[in-house]
Amino acid sequence: MAETANPFEMARQQLAAVADKIDLDANVHEVLRHPKRELTVNFPVSMDDGSVKTFTGYRVHHNVTRGPAKGGIRYHPDTDLDEVRALAFWMTVKCAVVNIPYGGAKGGVVCDPTALSPAELEDLTRRYTTEIAILLGPDRDIPAPDVGTNGQIMAWLMDTYSMSVGHTVPAVVTGKPIAIGGSEGRIEATGRGVVTVAREALRAAGCQLPGATVAVQGFGNVGSTAAMLFCRAGAKVVAVSDVRGAIHNANGLDLVKLSAYNKAHKTVVGFSEAEPIAPDDLLTLSCDVLVPAALGNQITTKNADRIRAHFVIEGANGPTTPQADDILRDNGVVVVPDVLANAGGVTVSYFEWVQDLQRFFWSEAEVNSKLEQIMTRAFGQVQAAARRHGCDLRTGAYIVGIHRVAEAILARGIYP
C-alpha cells in the first residue's frame, strides 16, 4: 500500500492490521472504522482592529462505549477534519491501553495562536466553546490542552461552559490551572509518562536509562519536560529542536541553562553551548533514544531507513507512518507507540477529573506515584501482548486497546 500522509487513513490502516491479527469481530471493526459523531463549526471573532474574521473548528467523538469522550483541543493552522478524526481514534485506543474509563475525542481550530493577541485568543476560545457546548459536559465530553493550547485556554473554556449552565463546573475540562481545580503534576504528566515507558523499554532490552543518549524533536510542553526528566534520570540529552531549528551537543546539553534560555528567547536556537543542526538531521542522529514530540508524519519512508536510534519513544501523536514502522521494525528499532508512550497526559487528566468530581485533591507525590503505577503496568501488558502474538509494541498496544474496546462494544450490544 502506498504511503499516505492522511492521518485518518493511517489510523484505519493501523486498525485493519490489528483486526487481522486478533480476528476482530467484523461488526466491531465496522463500528471502529467510523467516528460516532463529528461537529464542524464556523464562527466569527471580532479582531482587535475592528474587523471580523471567521474561523473553522471541529469536535469529533470517535467512540464512547467505555465512558465519556476525552481528548484535547489543538489550535494549529494546518489542522483539518481528518487529522481530528485520527486523533480521536487514537484517543479511544490510548484510553483503553492504560485502562481508564473514557472514550476517544479530539477538537481543533484552524488558526495560528501565536498570531493572535491575548484578547483575540480569549474571544476565539469562548466562541468556539459556545459552538461546541452541545457536546460538552463532565459526564459527556471532557476536553484538555493539546498543540497550541494551554491551561489558560482551558480556564476560559471552563468559565464559558460554567456561565452557560449557571454554576461552576471544574470537571468539564482538564489541564486547568490549579487555582480552579487543576491537578498537581498535570503539566509534566505527558513528558513524565514518556520517560517512564522509555525506562521500561530499555530495561526490557537489558539496557538502562542512566548514560543513554537522547534526542528530542519538539521543545514544547511534552518535549521540554521529557528532556529535563531524562537528564534527571541520568541520561544525556544530546539534541533538541523546536519550530525554529535544532541544536546539538555530543557531550550533553545543560537542560537547566537551556530551559532558562528558551524561556527568555522563546526558542532553543542560538543557545551558546550547542551547535546548530538541520531539524531533519536530529531525527537521524546516532543516539540510544529518539523522542519525536512535535507533530505527526515525521518518520516516513523518506527517512526511516536512516534512523540510527535504538529506541523511538513517540511523544507526539502519529509521528510514524505505517510504512515507516515496517522499515524501523526490519532494522531492529524498538518503537514505543504514541497510544502508550504519551498516555501520561490523559492518565493525569483522568486523575484531575476524579478529583474535581469528588472535590478532594491529591498531592503531587500521590499523582506521580499513581501515574508511575499505571504507565508501568500498561507497558508490561503491551509487552506481554507483543510477545504472545510475535509482533512489535505498536501492534501489541493496539491488541490490548482494541480488545478492551471490542469487549465493551460486544457486552453492550448494538442499540436498539
Q: Please give the positions annotated as active site.
A: 106
Residue type, 144: A
Query: Alpha-carbon distance 37 to 60, whole Å?
Result: 6
Measure the CA dihedral 38/174/379/383, to 10°. 0
Q: HSE, CB side, 13 Å, CA atoms: give it for residue 36.
A: 19
- Using H for helix, E for strand and C for coil, what is the string for the chain? CCCCCCHHHHHHHHHHHHHHHHCCCHHHHHHHCCCCEEEEEEEEEECCCCCEEEEEEEEEEEECCCCCEEEEEEEECCCCHHHHHHHHHHHHHHHHHCCCCCEEEEEEEECCHHHCCHHHHHHHHHHHHHHHCCCCECCCEEEEECCCCCHHHHHHHHHHHHHHHCCCCHHHCCCCCHHHCCCCCHHHHHHHHHHHHHHHHHHHCCCCCCCCEEEEECCCHHHHHHHHHHHHCCCEEEEEEECCEEEECCCCCCHHHHHHHHHHHCCCCCCCCCEEECHHHHHCCCCCEEEECCCCCCECCCCHHHCCCCEEECCCCCCECHHHHHHHHHCCCEEECHHHHCCHHHHHHHHHHHHHHHCCCCCHHHHHHHHHHHHHHHHHHHHHHHHHHCCCHHHHHHHHHHHHHHHHHHHHCCCC
Q: 271: closest CA among 256, 287, 293?
A: 256
Query: Alpha-carbon distance 235 to 227, whole Å?
Result: 9
Q: 200: closest CA among 346, 17, 3, 384?
A: 384
